[in-house]
A and B are shown apart, each in its own frame.
Chain A
Amino acid sequence: MERPLTRNIHPNRPPLTLKEYEMAGGYLAVKKALSIPPKEIIDLVKESNLKGRGGAGFNTGMKWSFVPYGENSPATKYLVANADEMEPGTFKDRLLLEGNPHQLIEGMIVAAYAIGATTGYVFLRYAYKEAAVKITNAINEAYNAGYLGFNILGSGYNLQMHLHTGVGRYMCGEETALLNALEGKRATPRAKPPFPQISGLFGKPTIVNNVETLCNIPHIINNGADWFKNLSYSEDGGTKLYGVSGRVKHPGCWELPMGISIRELIEEYAGGMQDGYRFRGVLPGGASTDFLVEQHLDIKMDFKSVAMAGSRLGTGTMIVLDDKTCPVGFVHNLQQFFAHESCGWCTPCREGLPWVEKILWSIEQGQGKPGDLDLLDQHAKLLGPGNTFCALAPGAAEPLQSALKYFREDFERHIRNKQCPYD
């Protein structure tokens, strides 16, 4: 089984230096890409069917193709690596950032060249201190070797790259809010259109891609679209970094073919549930996805299959709910997070999420009222897609609505017995 993204990542040693990375085939993709017209690179990435690994799952090559190109396009364009991984339950990009920073930088150089960007940013969350050091080192090494800066490898192409560390706000992961943060503003989302591909950072065409997405690029350039598609067990190309956390025997993160089943991930890779605990449900792709339950264990973890089961692949990092953990408390913890991290820009999110959080807290404390579940059902709809400015509140509504569907008896029991049955 091929593992292109993690092949050169060794947990017990520092990441490859530039020299070691080159010995392992690193930066060959940059050399190759700089000799190909940018449009051909975009077509190759489109053809590979690489879908954005940040959660939305949009075709990456297609996204790049929306950037204006040619003589009449703006001279300044930007590429941003979204390394603001702050979704609860998600810990995949940390592995790539700390384990092989040159792979990300190489992917960024190729992506920037493809869209004609002359400046690249790595937008890194504050908590990833080790990654900050390693990326800074790797950027410096890449400048010294002529992979960054002016006239890269004699091609005439110029690219500057900067590391920007955030100051803590989940909203920064939303691409337009991230751009506001990079401009020194509050990280509130922007209205679309115009899309960032046309008017992004400082009003210039900008592509924001997830770290894992960008790390795939060098391998697609080196090996081709068909190779990439064949890595997968599903119609989505490539491998995927999957993670499992919660009360399983061996929580962890693994690179596996896109489309592996939930059962295989939990039972084989994560070693099954810890002794004394039974599986009750799972958020398949981070905190903002719908619960799936036992009947879904054989679902394939790819964008379409998980969507057909009523949830989202999201970041591919799953959080397991066991039979001794209270589903109401679980959802309360999530809503507390979303309510705190709401940027306050639009009313349903700013007002609705704290309300939901308070209702769940009172239910958990044994002070729930019979009408509370209707109110929560109503909120789950009102906070859903189409009613808010960005995807934060709809994301928060996903675990809530699915918990009300699959674990309703737990909510009712709390209200009926005026206490949490799990205490």
Chain B
Amino acid sequence: MLSTEEIKEIDHEISLVPYKKAACIEAMKIVQRNRGWISDDALKAIADYLEMSTAELDSVATFYNLIFRKPVGRHIILVCDSITCWIMDYKALYIAIQKQLNIKFGETTTDGKFTLLPNACLGCCDHAPTMLIDDDLYRNINADELEMILNRYE
């Protein structure tokens, strides 16, 4: 189930910690980077490799906001819904995204292109409202610019 490349990367992470299990978050990050999400099969494969139960690994996986246990789109949109963005009307941005992509928070577009998620403070409160698409940070977003931004993604 795990590829040779993935095992090589996971082995490197294991070499940095005192016992295998301690590398479990890093291992999930590696697999998620390759496959987009952590399926039940991937979860079991990682747990077996790290000599832990799938239940224990799932308890870690489901604790964190950005380990995905359901399929996600090719691009993840994280919209900041925390206090300063709320004051600066992030809702207008959210409504514009809903209109454009026809999805709400937690949903993926039917073509599998985008998944939309709310996100705690992105740490750009002086440029609110903000959103992160994959590795790209957008600040001071005007809902009118949204279409142009989303069109950059394939």
Tell me which residues across on chain A come within 8 A of B86, comparing CB atoms: 329-330, 333
- Residue contact A181 to B25, C-beta cutoff 8 Å: yes
Interface residues on A, range: 35 or more
Residue total for B at the interface (Cβ-Cβ under 8 A)? 39
Chain-B contact segment, one of A146-154, A163-171, A291-299: A163-171
- Residue contact B123 to A91, C-beta cutoff 8 Å: yes
A341 interface residue, CB < 8 Å from B? Answer: yes
Contacts A186-B60, A245-B84, A333-B86 known; A86 to B120 CB distance under 8 Å? yes
B63 nearest CB across to chain A (Å): 4
Residue among A167, A168, A245, A317 facing the most chain B CB atoms (10 A cut-off)? A167
Tell me which residues across on chain A come within 8 A of B67, comparing CB atoms: 167
Tell me which residues across on chain A come within 8 A of B23, comparing CB atoms: 184
Cα separation A91 to B135 with both chains bound (whole Å)? 18
- Residue contact B84 to A184, C-beta cutoff 8 Å: no
B16's nearest neighbour on chain A, judged by CB, is A162
Cα separation A181 to B23 with both chains bound (whole Å)? 10
- Residue contact A247 to B65, C-beta cutoff 8 Å: no
Contact with B along A282-326 (1 / 0, CB 8 A): 010001000000000000000000000000000001010110010
B25 nearest CB across to chain A (Å): 5
A330's partner among B24, B87, B124, B137 (CB-CB below 8 A) is B87
- Residue contact B25 to A243, C-beta cutoff 8 Å: no
A184's partner among B21, B78, B122, B125 (CB-CB below 8 A) is B21
- Residue contact B82 to A94, C-beta cutoff 8 Å: no
B55 interface residue, CB < 8 Å from A? Answer: no
Contact with B along A77-104 (1 / 0, CB 8 A): 0000000011111110110000000000
Binding site for B on A (CB under 8 A): 85-91, 93-94, 125-130, 162, 164-170, 181-187, 202, 243-247, 251-253, 283, 287, 317, 319, 321-322, 325, 329-330, 333-334, 337, 340-341, 343
Binding site for A on B (CB under 8 A): 16-18, 21-26, 28-29, 59-60, 63-67, 78, 81-84, 86-88, 119-128, 132, 135, 137
